[in-house]
């Protein structure tokens, strides 16, 4: 299992004052030096955090997995291909949302992904991951498209207000992970994960490959420092799984 750190909110802090710091690429270097296996960024259509110049710098400095999270617009596909990261994680994107609010609606995007998006990315060596909610139909459609991986949306689990709600969502995540794995896809996960909710997820959900964590990790790093925070996450992950 790999810890990938999402550094979007380093850019949020930088953009709050426009002084040019903190620098996302510098944070990426510190996270990788501390043991993270890669870096995730989301270049949004409105450029609210990561900017195009950050993408160029991240491509230069990241030594491990570079995961380019994006909506599948023509504009982003062109930047993706120019950037040539290891992985493209395709997500839905709504202008008014504070953060990605759910997985792709696979039955809605299926034809467009099949005809326009997958053929374009398949001209490259970039792996494709689809950010989906943990339901069997979406896993099946991701497989039919020939996706290399899915990223399970863990936000509903992370925000569950009751034990029943949490357990119910963990079951859905477990079944989706088992199904995706048996269909030959890698299983990634992310959204809303933190030091309090990670353990239970890892106990329940098998076959996890990349775990993507951003907001909580960057927030904790304000108090504990980025290297120590990354190491704390790695220690927690290694209690449950082999961390590469
Ligand atoms: N995975 C995806 C697809 C996301 O959209 C996000 C949020 O940008 C994350 C993981 C990380 O979520 P968080 O910042 O809550 O850790």
SS3 164: helix
Domain ranges in the chain?
A: 2-239
Residues near ligand 1 with C-beta < 6 Å? 6, 8, 42, 69, 89, 91, 99-100, 131, 151, 190-193, 212-216
Query: For position 86, what pLDDT does the model report?
Result: 98
Query: For position 61, what pLDDT does the model report?
Result: 98
**Residue 163 Cα, ligand 1 centroid: separation in angstroms?**
23
**Residue 78 Cα, ligand 1 centroid: separation in angstroms?**
22
* Enzyme catalytic residues: 42, 69, 191
Q: What angle do CA 160, 164, 170 make, to 5 degrees?
A: 70
Q: Which residues 6+ apart lie within 8 Å of 189 measured at CB? A: 151, 152, 154, 173, 177, 201, 205, 208, 210, 211, 212
SS3 104: coil
Query: For position 46, what pLDDT does the model report?
Result: 94
Q: Which H or E run includes 38?
A: strand 38-42
Query: For position 97, what pLDDT does the model report?
Result: 75
pLDDT in tens, 111-158: 999 999 999 999 999 999 999 999 999 999 999 999 999 999 999 999
Query: For position 240, what pLDDT does the model report?
Result: 87
pLDDT in tens, 178-198: 999 999 999 999 999 999 999
**Residue 154 Cα, ligand 1 centroid: separation in angstroms?**
9
Rounded CA separation 89/191 (Å): 13
Atom of ligand 1 nearest to the CA of 192: 15
Domain range 2-239, CATH class? alpha beta
The one-digit pLDDT tens for each residue of the chain (244 residues) are: 999 999 999 999 999 998 999 999 999 999 999 999 999 999 999 999 999 999 999 999 999 999 999 999 999 999 999 999 999 999 999 767 777 779 999 999 999 999 999 999 999 999 999 999 999 999 999 999 999 999 999 999 999 999 999 999 999 999 999 999 999 999 999 999 999 999 999 999 999 999 999 999 999 999 999 999 999 999 999 998 777 6
Length of the chain: 244
Query: For position 125, what pLDDT does the model report?
Result: 98
Atom of ligand 1 nearest to the CA of 6: 11
Atom of ligand 1 nearest to the CA of 151: 3
């Amino acid at each position: 299992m790999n810890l990938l750190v999402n550094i979007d909110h380093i850019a949020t802090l930088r953009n709050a004052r426009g002084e040019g710091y903190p620098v996302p690429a510098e944070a990426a270097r510190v996270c990788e030096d501390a043991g993270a296996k890669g870096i995730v960024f989301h270049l949004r259509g409105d450029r609210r955090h990561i900017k195009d110049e950050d993408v160029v710098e991240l491509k230069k400095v990241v030594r491990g997995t570079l995961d380019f999270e994006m909506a599948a617009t023509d504009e982003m596909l062109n930047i993706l291909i120019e950037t040539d990261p290891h992985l493209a994680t395709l997500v839905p994107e709504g202008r008014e949302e504070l953060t990605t609010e759910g997985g792709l609606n696979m039955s809605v995007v299926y034809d467009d992904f099949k005809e326009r998006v997958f053929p374009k990315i398949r001209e490259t060596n970039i792996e494709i991951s689809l950010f989906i909610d943990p339901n069997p139909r979406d896993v099946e459609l991701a497989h039919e498209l020939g996706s290399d991986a899915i990223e399970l949306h863990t936000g509903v689990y992370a925000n569950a207000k009751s034990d029943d709600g949490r357990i119910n969502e963990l079951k859905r995540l477990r079944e989706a992970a088992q199904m995706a794995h048996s269909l030959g896809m890698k299983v990634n996960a992310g959204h809303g994960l933190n030091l309090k909710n990670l353990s239970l997820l890892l106990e329940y959900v098998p076959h996890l490959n990349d775990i993507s964590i951003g907001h909580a990790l960057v927030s904790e790093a304000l108090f504990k420092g980025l290297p120590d925070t990354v190491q704390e996450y790695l220690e927690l992950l290694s209690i449950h799984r082999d961390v590469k």
